[in-house]
Amino acid sequence: MTTQFIFFSGKGGVGKTSMACTHAVRYAEMGKRTLIVTTDPASNLADVFEQPIGHQITPIATVPGLFAMEIDPDKATEEYIDRAMTPIRAVFPAEMVRIMEEQMSGPCTAEVAAFDRFTDFLDLSNEKNENFDLIIFDTAPTGHTIRLLELPAEWSQSIDAAAAGSGQTCLGPAAAIQEAKFKYERALAAMRQSSQTTFVFVLHPEAISIKETRRAIEELSKLQIRNFQLIVNGIIPPEGTQNPLFAARAEMQKRYLEVIDRNLPYPKKYMQLLSGEIKGTERLREVAGAFFDGIPVTFAPTVSAKTSNGKFSLNKADLVTRIQPNGHRRTLFFAGKGGVGKTIASCITAVWLARLGYKTLLLTTDPAAHLGDVLGVPVGDEPQPVPGLDKLWAVKIDPKAAAEAYKTRILDDARRRGRPESAIQIMAEELESPCTEEMAAFDKFIEYASQEGWQAVVFDTAPTGHTLRLLELPLDWSKQIDVKVFASVDASAADDIAKQRFGQVIEMMRDPAQSTFAFVMYPEATPVLEAWRAAEELTTVGIRPGLVVANMVIPEEQATTPFTAARRQMQEKYLAEIAERFKVPVVQIPLLPEEIKGLDLLAELGEQIYPIETVPAG
């Protein structure tokens, strides 16, 4: 029997991991030998199954026949470089080997290596995969996943070009990775085989989630991948509509369910919003019963619904020093797990600052940019004033457009400096690698971060794992500047300028008087843990969190029914944990009857979540 593959994808925060784990448990208990693999840099499989997993195939102790693996980018990178370089070390001089290894130590290699490890599981010529009836992929948020899935075709082109030219790519020596090329082609062939592979998109009945799903399906269709199914998750159950807040949200969902039926003509299943969180195999079995068999599942309250909100109160003076400019520019970074509301939090904050009179730039480095959806106005690839609000400009960094501009600038600069055509050809080949987009997006980020004239700069950043790599790039790049990758390309004064530029941005990020890192999360187990891990990793490069934004908090006065009381109690537990873990001001964005969209609502929420005495800009 041929191994079957199921991919779970969708916008961050829609429940991909919960649904992937639910399916994995059900199929394993049906007698299918099942493996679940996550390609998300910010993995939480271990949290859901409540046991260590890590970078190896690990049996799930409480579910016979079920195995899991979390691909670790760092370990995958070590394995990848070692595998690519082993045959090279045996036949090439040590100096050439050193240059090749340096070439592979750039900041994009982790993503390359993680994808290489991921394709191992799609390759049925790998005898290890024959041991599984089913392999489930819990993928990263959609924008990141699409880039990963595009890589096989791009890499094949990159390998072909390098083999005809210098023989070197960011993937490693072309001669050493011809077999990898065939592996990537086999992986893409397996993804295109509808009888073998299914793509399940998890989405909420909300505008942005629907838009993201349609965009992802269009991108996959370009790759000739066509077997799609949908899980519409988070539907408010009848018992939830006894509360006016949830009744209003249910009406909103009803409208979007009609849009989904009309515009996404694929097989669909539906899953209700549960009153409690999904953790542990017993919970997963209950959820599987609800999803596959229609058996009701309820997570009853365990403590009194009424808890004073006083313990979550803000130190207003402390908050103002972390949000407003203080005699010089304030840069705010909004980070967190995909889908938790970073865009909403960044838009609220940018609108609030602009209304105080600060000249504010709002931008996103997220490949799945939704600034325009939340602001209610178009946002382009160059900073433009936001209509209806003086002092606010917005821009999105398009990775593909940034990459083209980046390549042109680098090659034009090389020609101006009189570098030989042979060196320029090598550089052009290198810049055609699929890693250039991330490097170019970061370079654009540096450009905006270095501009004069802004009093406040607000970054709506990418999901956590992606963001961490983005923020670590300046450190890695500055290490790379002195490395002579090509013998024909000499170091120049431009390298020193670049190093100084990176250094200034790093110091700005580390200085709490200039920069604030705000972590956005739902008050639920996984987003809190994700944010905590991200914050801990940032401290290793001298950056500490300055603010927490808790999103979609059920107002205390709405905890009037068993369903809403149970969800509010769960949130209060995690609000307390947030305050204890982070020890920084915590602001709360309330759950509203409708989606957050438009300048008027953003302004109203800004006044609500930042209830502080402010000094308007001078």
| 16 given a catalytic annotation | yes
Catalytic residue among 10, 12, 15, 546: 15
| 17 given a catalytic annotation | yes
Catalytic residue among 3, 9, 16, 275: 16
Q: Phi first, then psi: what are they for 187, rounded to 5°?
A: -65, -45
Q: How many residues does the chain have?
A: 618
425: CB partners within 8 A, 6+ apart: 165, 166
CA 217 to chain centre: 18
| 213 given a catalytic annotation | no
Catalytic residue among 13, 65, 106, 172: 13
From CA 152, how far away is CA 186, in angstroms rounded?
Answer: 9
| 133 given a catalytic annotation | no
Select from 122, 119, 30, 144 the least CA-distant residue to 22.
Answer: 30
Select from 541, 472, 463 the least CA-distant residue to 109.
Answer: 472
End-to-end CA distance of the chain: 72
Q: Phi first, then psi: what are they for 313, rounded to 5°?
A: -70, 160
334: CB partners within 8 A, 6+ apart: 342, 345, 346, 349, 458, 459, 460, 461, 518, 519, 520, 549
Q: Phi first, then psi: what are they for 7, rounded to 5°?
A: -100, 130
| 13 given a catalytic annotation | yes
Kindly give the pairing relationship between strand 456-460 and strand 330-335: parallel
Catalytic residue among 9, 38, 39, 40: 40
CA 141 to chain centre: 5
Select from 330, 295, 13 the least CA-distant residue to 140.
Answer: 13
| 343 given a catalytic annotation | no
Burial 98-130 (b: 16+ CB within 10 A, else e): ebbbebbebbbbbbbbbbbbbbebbbbeeeebe
- Cβ–Cβ under 8 Å, residues 44 and 17: yes
From CA 40, how far away is CA 144, in angstroms rounded?
Answer: 9
3 state SS of 70: strand
Beta-carbon neighbour count of residue 612 at 10 Å? 17
Burial 200-230 (b: 16+ CB within 10 A, else e): bbbbbbbbbbbbbbeebbebbeeeebebbeb
From CA 148, how far away is CA 301, in angstroms rounded?
Answer: 41
- Cβ–Cβ under 8 Å, residues 378 and 553: no
- Cβ–Cβ under 8 Å, residues 27 and 134: yes
From CA 66, how far away is CA 53, in angstroms rounded?
Answer: 12
Select from 586, 79, 570, 51 the least CA-distant residue to 284.
Answer: 51
- Cβ–Cβ under 8 Å, residues 236 and 250: yes
List, in sequence order, the alpha helices (H) in 464-597: 464-480, 493-510, 525-539, 562-582
Burial 513-540 (b: 16+ CB within 10 A, else e): eebbbbbbbbbbbbbbbbbbbbbeebee
Catalytic residue among 142, 145, 209, 526: 526
| 614 given a catalytic annotation | no
Strands (E), 208-276: 228-235, 268-272
Provide the annotated active-site residues: 13, 15-18, 40, 526
